[in-house]
Amino acid sequence: MSNLFSPYAGIFFDLDGTLADTAPDLVAATNLLLVARNLAPKPYEFLRPYASAGARGLLEGAFGISPDHADFILLRDEFFSNYEKALLVESKLFDDMGHLLDQMDEARLPWGIVTNKSERFTNPLTELMGLRQRAISTVSGDTTPYSKPHPEPILHAARVAKVDPTKSLYVGDDIRDVLAGKAAGMKTVAAAYGYCGCKEPPEAWGADYIVNQPLELLQIIFPNRG
């Protein structure tokens, strides 16, 4: 029996840039688009922050286009096809995140995943990473009619987990995560180690906590640990 106790009823995480470092495979799928058009691939460090906004962000970073551009749908669908074929090549949990999940499982503290990634990618990726089997709820951007920053995906995850959202914590690496978590009545953590692709720095998001590495979450989730 674990001697870890948490003031929270449940912990919920964004996926890309928070639980898992998926940018290497997202950037690789994006650079394939450039190479196929005889354009030079972009440096990983340049595209990494754009991974925070998924296909929309990465296509903006690579081609300088927005969703209203005539070529956006074609490029997005080709990106999806590239990514689907190589979901888990270099993607992995952030350092120490595995230890954190083990500690929560040991304490029987429910945890779930709430991402704007579509189920087409979330479900196989979390299965392959062994996360879906452990998470009490996994909610994607198209699981409900809404995506973050709307609170409904987070509230849906809490309902599935049968936990009170006002006694729960949401962790994410984008301002949309903090806005959604706050709107759902949860305490929020800004994951400053993530992609943080929005213009405002994590200090400006209004989160209850900011962490610079996953291990710092242990002290927030289990404040009375030894």
Please, how many CA atoms are within 13 Å of residue 214, restricted to the half-sphere of its CB?
Answer: 20
112: left (phi over 0), alpha (psi -120 to 50) or beta: beta
For the sheet with 209-211, list strands across it. Answer: 137-139, 111-114, 10-13, 168-172, 187-191, 209-211
Which active-site residues does the annotation give?
14, 16
Token pair for residue 209? 């906590």
The residue among 144, 187, 216 whose CA lies nearest residue 9 is 187
Is the CB of residue 4 less than 8 Å from the CB of residue 35?
Answer: no
How many Å separate Cα 165 from the centre of its chain?
18
The owner of tokens 């953590």 is 189
Beta bridge partners of 139: 114
CA angle 12/226/3 to nearest 5° reads 65
